[in-house]
Amino acid sequence: MSAETATDFSAHLPALAVMVPLMTAPLVVIFRNSKVAFGLSLAAAWSVFGMILKTLMLTLEHGGWVYELGGWKAPIGIVYNVDTVAAFVMLIVSGIGALVLSYAPMSVAREIPENRQTLFYSAFLLAMTGLLGMTITGDAFNVFVFLEISSLASYTLVAMGSSRNGFTAAYRYLIMGAIGGTFILIGIGLMYMMTGTLNMADLAERLPEVAHTRTIMASFAFVIVGAGLKLALWPMHTWLPNAYTYAPSVASAFISATGTKVMVYVMLRFVFGIYGTEFAFTELSLGLPFAVLGLGGIYAASTAAIFQTNFKRLLAYSSVGQIGYIVLGMSLATVGGLAAAILHLFNHAIMKAGLFMAAGHINHQVGSVRLADLEGIGRKMPITMGLIAIGGAGLIGVPLTVGFVSKWVLISALAEQDLWWVVGLALASSLLAVAYIWRFVEVAWIREPAPALEHVTEVPFWLWGPTAVMMTLSIVFGVWGAGTTEVAMEAARILLGVAA
């Protein structure tokens, strides 16, 4: 965007998108009324979504721009780096956040004590603030700041679950998350030592001169491991299953769809935007370990998912597996591979948010998501089960769902590099998804309803409506995958610095 349009009001939109939830969060607490809290949060989330949609359209039309916070120039002030990639990821965060919030009140009323509900909404908004800030900022230290905002808010969200296991899950999440955050901070600190700047663009410029020092290599290792921990890169995923399982349904849906996704994006920014493809992939050959860890994650976590007895935990393991596909795409360091990774951020976010929301339906009506308690529930809650079937089909990668679009782009990217055996492994792995989804389908549909479920009914529209929107999106973007694919391609080109 040219200098003259940058003074236009719309140039402020990305900054405003971060400020709105940040300001609404304390406001929500002040009122101490869960209805008001919900209303404010919802209004904030949807307005943020609108701003980001506009931002994305602007970046697609005119290219990105640099936004100086408070008008301070780069080395002193903090800048926001507005481009298609960032806008796309922010769109995921705000879109999922807004839809999940639309669904929240009934689920929150059921799962969280009345006196903590306002705090829940507040933490939700803070988590959203952090995730949005991390995405947009052009300042390495600022990434860490927002990372901590979102992480602390997420720990709180997880701990608010109705079961006591939530506390231990949150504690473990906190420990692992803190380690990850600290590692990232150390990595950033080492870079600062060598270059004297925290601005990402300046870092990228100055790093090549000192790239061969041990300090920078160490910083690279710290950042990769730290970000890997936070994005649940197998085998550093151990915090994730419990956190997702015991968190309140609303929190599970939001965090699972956005938390790890933004971390993937941060990793992309650091690896491709700061260290550079040359350094990371040619000199330090990050490709191979990423491919191995990605494939390892796909197989290990998807296999683990088959044996779960709790539906939410099954979904959580599936998430670890799906992150494997993203990492596998990244490991290629080609436009196709990165596009596949970015596309899957979006596609998986839709599917997984929808599925966790549907798990929330079950929890709302039955009070449990253990498979043993759900025998024959298909006939009692046909809408919910239909929605789960759509989401499940997406995880398997059935054509006409978003899962297939991701899979196709990933496989085409692998084929482009003549990595046929990886193509085979990636394709075969979808059969594991068939196995874990089918486990649920058989329990829910084929078994006769358990006596305990006799009086269970379908959830009201206010719960299934937003979930249905999510699943509809999964089909819409599955049938019309060209649009999202092109945005992801564009984003990948920006990251790699390649012209179209």
Partner 1 sequence: MTAQTAILLTMIIPLVVAALVAILGRVASANVRDTVMVVVAASLFPVVMTLWPEVTAGGRPELIWVEMFPGLPIAFKVEPLGLVFGMVASFLWPVTALYGIGYMRGHHEKHQTRFFFYFSAAISAAMGIAWSGNLMTLFAFYEALTLSTYPLVAHHQDEASLKAGRVYLGILLFTSVAFLLSAIVWTGSVAGTLDFRDGGILSGHVHGWHVPVLLGLFAYGIGKAALMPFHRWLPNAMVAPTPVSALLHAVAVVKAGVFSVMKVVVYVFGLDLLSSTSASVWLMYVAAFTILTASLIAMTKDNLKERLAYSTISQLSYIVLGAAMATKAGFVGGSMHIAMHAFGKITLFFVAGAIYVHTHKKYVSQLDGLGRKMPLTFLAFGIGTLSIIGLPPTGGMWSKWFLALGALQAEQPLLVAVFMISSLLNVAYLLPIMARAFFLPPSEETAALPDKDAPWATLVPPLISAVGCIVLFFWADALRSLLVPVVGV
Minimum distance between the CB of residue 275 and partner 1, rounded to whole angstroms?
30
The residue among 221 and 423 lying less far from partner 1, judged by its C-beta, is 423
Q: Can you tell me whether residue 2 is helix, strand or coil?
A: coil
Minimum CB separation of residue 329 from partner 1 in Å reads 15
Please, which residue, 193 or 431, has the CB nearer to partner 1? 431
Q: What contacts 271, CB < 8 A, 6 or more positions away?
A: 224, 277, 280, 286, 330
How many C-beta atoms lie closer than 10 Å to residue 53's C-beta?
Answer: 16
Least separation, in Å, of the C-beta of 72 and partner 1? 40
| Helical (H) or strand (E) element with 65 | strand 65-68
Q: How far apart are CA 179 and CA 334, in angstroms?
A: 30
Query: Which positions touch partner 1 (CB under 8 A)?
Result: 393, 396-400, 404-405, 408-409, 411-412, 415-416, 423-424, 427-428, 430-431, 434, 438, 442, 445-448, 479-483, 485-486, 489
Choice between 8 and 486, CB closer to partner 1? 486
Q: Cα-flanking dihedrals φ and ψ of residue 376, to 5°?
A: 70, 20
Residue 357: strand, helix, or coil: helix
Minimum Å distance from CB 486 to partner 1?
6
Cβ closest to partner 1, residue 223 vs residue 298: 298
Nearer to partner 1, 145 or 425 (CB): 425
Q: How far apart are CA 27 and CA 24, in angstroms?
A: 5
Q: Which is nearer to partner 1, 72 or 480 (CB)?
A: 480
Residues near 256 by Cβ (< 8 Å), separated by ≥ 6?
A: 244, 315, 316, 319, 352, 353, 356
Residue 10, burial from CB neighbour count under 10 angstroms (0-12, 13-18, 19+): middle
Q: How far is CA 85 from CA 55, 65, 130, 342, in A?
A: 11, 12, 17, 8
Q: How far is the CB of 302 from partner 1 (least distance, A)?
A: 14
* Cβ closest to partner 1, residue 348 vs residue 439: 439
**How far does Cα 334 stand from its chain's mean position?**
22
Compute the least distance from the CB of residue 232 to partner 1, in Å.
25
Q: Which CB, 229 or 295, lies closer to partner 1?
A: 295
Q: How many CA atoms lie within 13 A of 432 on its CB side?
A: 24
Cα atoms in the Cβ-side hemisphere of radius 13 Å centred on 241 = 19
Shortest reach from residue 86's CB to partner 1, in Å: 22
